[in-house]
Structure 1
Amino acid sequence: MGEYHRFLFLVILLILVPGPDYVIVTKNAVGFGKSAGIKTVFGIAAALFCHTIFAVVGLSAFVAKSAALFTAVKYLGAIYLLYLGVRSLFSKGTQLTTTVEAEKRNSWVQGFFTNILNPKVAVFFLTFLPQFVSSDTASWRDFAFLGLTYVLLTLVIYTGYVLLLAKMKGILEKPIIQNIINKLSGFVLIIFGIKLFSENN
């Protein structure tokens, strides 16, 4: 039980660390409303759920061991972050209703692909989860349980963050604030994309 409590503590700390997920959730929640933020969160959780399955069935290990496949996924993930960053950086302060509705629909996709195309997440699941499973009694159920716990905590913490942003709607919905967040989000996503693109396997 002590090991599981340590796992929970470390996972919560890791989820709270700022990264591309927070940028995309913030951008969508502030720019397109609470529902868009929630959809982004569920996209992120769906990708983490897939990574859990990949780790359990051994697909993540296969990707990690294949330099060519790992690099291909990494480049796709970096390109996607750069694409989102450039779109956000050059987005207009005022947007048509049709554009807003399209972005709301795309929120889940953005959350999902930002994570599923990041091989570093797959490697993280492979290296982090085994630390909390006894090598003598380890089974796929243990890995699945820890992975699903990670997914659930991600849902709870990120949803809480979206609800907090919704409470600040009066301030954040001002055009000048939204424009600043768009530009800042775009810049940060581009930085993350370049960083992922240039990282060694």
Structure 2
Amino acid sequence: MCMLLIILPGPDTAVSTKNTLVVGRVGGLKTMLGSCCGLLIHTFAAVVGLSAIVVKSAYLFAAIKYVGAVYLCYLGIKTLWAMRNLHKQQLEDVEESNKYTGHSCFKQGFLTNVTNPKVAVFFLTFLPQFVDGTGNTFGPFLMMGLIYTGLTALWFVFYVYLLDKISAFMKKPKTKMVIEGLTSAVLIGFGIKLALEK
């Protein structure tokens, strides 16, 4: 069930796709590491009860939700802006830009995941169904969160390597413009959808 939830496209997938296509395999893997670090924070927050407080507090939930929504829209608009200016740059400038972008891939993956309150809700509604509430819940809950993070890492490593293998086709100027345009629209769409979550 976790694998089905992991492979469903979401904001993490959109950011990983964008960074793999723009920066390359290293950018995609850095994004995946950032997302997994975000999942570890959600795991520990859920284990110690912080996620429960966020879910119970409408104000905290709304604050995190809007920060996440604004960040996703920002990434989408930034990608559109970069795409608009791409044809004006020389090849050397594009390569230099890609090197710089690689430094922020981890941060993008981390912030996209950690500012998504739906992940906190998932950890509090899905995982507890498989924990025996009569005993010590700390260990089992922590173990499941770590397993979920590990499965996420495995999926994104496969996904990034697959994208990298077909990148020759994906990096053709017309293909790249279409994919980056779609990715930008998806990121902005996820941001708007997140902002409207209750």
What interval of TM-score do these two structures reach, taking the shorter chain for normalisation?
over 0.9
Q: Could you tell me which amino acid in structure 2 is paired with residue 142 of structure 1?
A: P
C-alpha displacement at 1:62, in angstroms? 1.1
- Alignment correspondent of 1:36: 27
Q: Could you tell me which amino acid in structure 2 is paired with residue 117 of structure 1?
A: T
Q: Please, which of 153, 161, 172 is the counterpart of residue 174 of structure 1?
A: 172
Question: What does residue range 42-81 of structure 1 map to in structure 2 within 5 Å?
Answer: 42-81=33-72
C-alpha displacement at 1:180, in angstroms? 1.3
Q: Distance in 1 between matches of 2:147 and 2:59?
A: 31
Q: Could you tell me which amino acid in structure 1 is paired with residue 168 of structure 2?
A: G
1:101 aligns with 2:99: yes
Identity of aligned residues (%): 46
Q: How large is the RMSD of aligned CA atoms in angstroms? A: 1.1
TM-score of the superposition, structure 2-length normalised? 0.93
1:183 aligns with 2:174: no
* Helix, strand or coil at the partner of 2:18: helix
Q: Distance in 1 between matches of 2:72 and 2:136?
A: 36
TM-score of the superposition, structure 1-length normalised? 0.91
C-alpha displacement at 1:181, in angstroms? 1.4
Contact kept, 8 Å, 1:27 with 1:185, in 2: the verdict is: yes
- Alignment correspondent of 2:153: 155
C-alpha displacement at 1:46, in angstroms? 0.5
- Alignment correspondent of 1:199: 197
Q: Could you give the per-residue CA deviations for residues 115-172 of structure 1, whole angstroms, max 9, x where no partner exists?
A: 1001111111011110011111242011000000000000001110001111112211
Question: What does residue range 4-23 of structure 1 map to in structure 2 within 5 Å?
Answer: 10-23=1-14
Q: Could you tell me which amino acid in structure 2 is paired with residue 115 of structure 1?
A: N
Q: Could you tell me which amino acid in structure 2 is paired with residue 83 of structure 1?
A: Y
- After the TM superposition, which parts of structure 1 deviate over 3 Å for at least 4 consecutive aligned residues? none
Q: Please, which of 108, 116, 121 is the counterpart of residue 123 of structure 1?
A: 121
- Alignment correspondent of 1:6: none
Q: How many residues align?
A: 191
1:26 aligns with 2:17: yes
Q: Could you tell me which amino acid in structure 2 is paired with residue 113 of structure 1?
A: L
Contact kept, 8 Å, 1:34 with 1:163, in 2: the verdict is: yes
- Alignment correspondent of 1:113: 111
Which residues of structure 1 form unaligned runs of 5+? 1-9
